């Protein structure tokens, strides 16, 4: 689409970008604008650059360095997105671009890529392979950035936001990459193969919850706590994930990570009740990252925990563990609470049954609330102690997290 040389706009038609993110070696096919002071509710946007191919590269570099911020028209957003996809590694490795700006660019692009994968027709083998390749390409370019401790400064800004499946998946993959890079001694991987190993593990993190697209919307988007039946339904997402990705040709370790990322160290998890050494290493790491992000995200029924609070819960022993296991077992075995209510007052039969149903629902709600509260008393039974300690040590290396009291 041809753009005008000048616009008067309230600003909603333009998007600000960092001039340093423009790679002079990858000439752009979108126009750059500068913005003048607001007057009468309108900004003046003047085109700075229409065709970068018409300018010598050296001059273009000087021009980009001289501008603090430039703008693109929203009608060329797609062009800019395609540019970022091709030049993400350049942006993330640029020493003069702020970490938080890098994080914003990465999250925006990763969100688009993950949402595309969640919308894939997984019945089609080709579509499935395309979705995986798209994610692998993104992660491959971003790996040096997200696996470094320095990147956690940007990650810290994402803590405490509303929980959304796609952004949650990105953060889980990100934390997984950082953990592996900081703890290579845990894995029997040659140094030359470590990056490929991290890419596959991060892909698993990005896709670990993709099975949730098969869960009914009223369960996924429920504003309150899940009842027993909904709790069982949501647990099926791990099996759905692996079935959707069956034709993807992902490595076995990635598929195991996706299937087993809710297994607990003591065998109380799902879907298979694995314990200890039965649980693959990557699944253990994904589980820790998954729970950490879930606890530090805001839910409609629950405030976000701080990283310190979340990890204190995760590392704490639960004094009510046997009661919690009993409630968990009841939820798995029954869609309704396993109690009987008999109303003996002088009700009519219809009213009596209605009152009995109300009492059952009240009791079921109490047990769901009790189960949720009991989990927050401590979750150390869920995790490998050494892995959890290493996770705390890893993110504590970032100045954005202070977890020294937990160590």
Predicted pLDDT of residue 341: 56
pLDDT for residue 2 is more than 80: no
**Angstrom distance (rounded) from CA 320 to CA 220:** 28
Q: Which residues pair with 101 in a beta bridge?
A: none
Residue 59 confidence class, pLDDT cut points 50, 70, 90? confident
Q: What's the chain's average pLDDT? A: 90
Query: What CATH number has the domain spanning 98-317+378-406?
Result: 1.10.3210.10
Q: Which of 4, 19, 178, 169 is nearest to 76 (CA)?
A: 4
Tell me what pLDDT residue 349 has. Answer: 73
Range with lowest mean pLDDT among 133-142, 206-215, 321-330, 343-352: 343-352
For 130, the 3-state DSSP assignment is helix
Q: What is the DSSP code (8-state) at residue 14? A: E
pLDDT, residue 145, reads: 97
Q: Which residues contact 218 (CB under 8 A, 6 or more apart)?
A: none
If 0-12 CB within 10 Å is exposed, 13-18 middle and 19+ buried, where does residue 178 land? buried
Residue 156: the pLDDT is: 92
C-alpha to C-alpha distance for 128 and 210, rounded to whole angstroms: 12
Of the ranges 7-16, 299-308, 342-351, which is most confident? Answer: 7-16
pLDDT score at 221: 87
Tell me the average pLDDT across 299-315.
93
Asked if 369 and 362 touch (Cβ cutoff 8 Å), the reply is no
Q: What's the average model confidence in pLDDT over 36-63?
A: 84
Q: What is the pLDDT of residue 339?
A: 57
Q: What would the pLDDT profile of 326-344 be if each residue is shown by its tens digit?
A: 888 888 776 555 556 565 6
What are 216-240's pLDDT values in tens digits?
999 998 888 888 889 899 999 999 9
Kindly state the percentage of the chain with pLDDT values over 90. Answer: 63
DSSP 162: B
**H/E run at residue 7:** strand 6-9
Place of tokens 């702020």: 98
78 CB-near residues (< 8 Å, 6+ apart)? none
Q: Please report the pLDDT score of residue 347 as a whole number.
A: 62
Secondary structure letter of residue 305 according to DSSP: P
What residues does each domain of the chain span? 1-80, 98-317+378-406
What count of residues does the chain have?
A: 407
Lowest mean pLDDT among 6-10, 205-209, 212-216, 225-229: 225-229
- b or e along 128-163 (b: 16 or more beta carbons within 10 Å of the residue's beta carbon)? beebbebbbebbbbbbbbbbbbebbbbbbebbeeee
More confident residue, 219 or 350: 219
Rounded Cα–Cα distance for residues 284 and 217 (Å): 28
What pLDDT does 336 receive? 59
Task: Name which of 287, 217, 294, 231 is nearest 258 in CA terms.
Answer: 287
Q: Mean of the pLDDT values across residues 181-204?
A: 93
**Which of 217, 129, 122, 203 is closest to 169 using CA atoms?**
203
- CB atoms under 10 Å from CB of 93, counted, come to 12
Averaging pLDDT over each range in 27-36, 104-113, 355-364, which range is the top one? 104-113
Could you tell me which residues are beta bridge partners of residue 298? Answer: 162
pLDDT, residue 346, reads 61
């Amino acid at each position: 689409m041809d753009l005008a040389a000048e616009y008067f706009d309230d600003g909603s038609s333009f998007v600000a970008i960092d001039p340093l993110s423009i790679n002079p070696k990858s000439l752009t096919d979108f126009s750059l604008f500068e913005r003048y002071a607001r007057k009468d509710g309108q900004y003046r946007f003047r085109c700075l650059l229409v065709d970068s191919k018409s300018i010598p590269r050296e001059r273009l570099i000087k021009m980009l360095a001289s501008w603090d911020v430039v703008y693109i028209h929203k009608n060329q957003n797609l062009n800019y997105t395609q540019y970022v996809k091709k030049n993400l590694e350049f942006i993330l490795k640029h020493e003069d671009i702020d970490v938080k700006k890098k994080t914003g660019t990465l999250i925006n692009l990763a969100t688009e890529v993950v949402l595309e994968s969640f919308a894939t027709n997984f019945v089609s083998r080709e579509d499935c392979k395309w979705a995986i390749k798209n994610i692998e390409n993104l992660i491959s370019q971003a790996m040096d950035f997200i696996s470094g401790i320095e990147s956690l400064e940007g990650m810290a800004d994402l803590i405490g936001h509303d929980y959304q499946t796609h952004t949650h998946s990105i953060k889980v993959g990100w934390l997984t990459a950082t953990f592996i890079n900081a703890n290579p001694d845990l894995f029997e991987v040659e140094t030359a193969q470590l990056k490929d190993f991290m890419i596959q593990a991060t892909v698993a993190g990005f896709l670990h919850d993709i099975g949730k697209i098969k869960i009914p919307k009223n369960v996924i988007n429920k504003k309150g706590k899940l009842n027993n039946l909904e709790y069982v339904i949501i647990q099926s997402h791990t099996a759905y994930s692996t079935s959707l990705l069956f034709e993807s040709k992902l490595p076995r370790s990635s598929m195991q990570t996706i299937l087993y990322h809710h297994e607990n160290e003591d065998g109380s998890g799902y879907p298979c009740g694995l314990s200890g050494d039965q649980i693959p290493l990557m699944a253990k790491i994904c589980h820790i990252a998954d729970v950490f992000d879930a606890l530090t995200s805001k839910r409609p029924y629950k405030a976000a925990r701080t990283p310190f609070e979340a990890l204190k819960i995760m590392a704490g022993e639960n004094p009510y563990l046997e009661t919690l296991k009993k409630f968990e077992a009841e939820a798995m075995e029954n869609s309704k609470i396993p109690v009987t209510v008999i109303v003996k007052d002088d009700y009519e039969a219809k009213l009596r049954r209605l009152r009995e149903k109300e009492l059952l629902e009240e009791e079921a709600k109490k047990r769901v609330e009790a189960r949720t509260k009991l989990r927050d008393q401590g979750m150390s039974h869920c995790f490998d102690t050494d892995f959890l300690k290493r996770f705390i040590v890893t993110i504590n290396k970032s100045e954005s997290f202070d977890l020294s009291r937990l160590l």
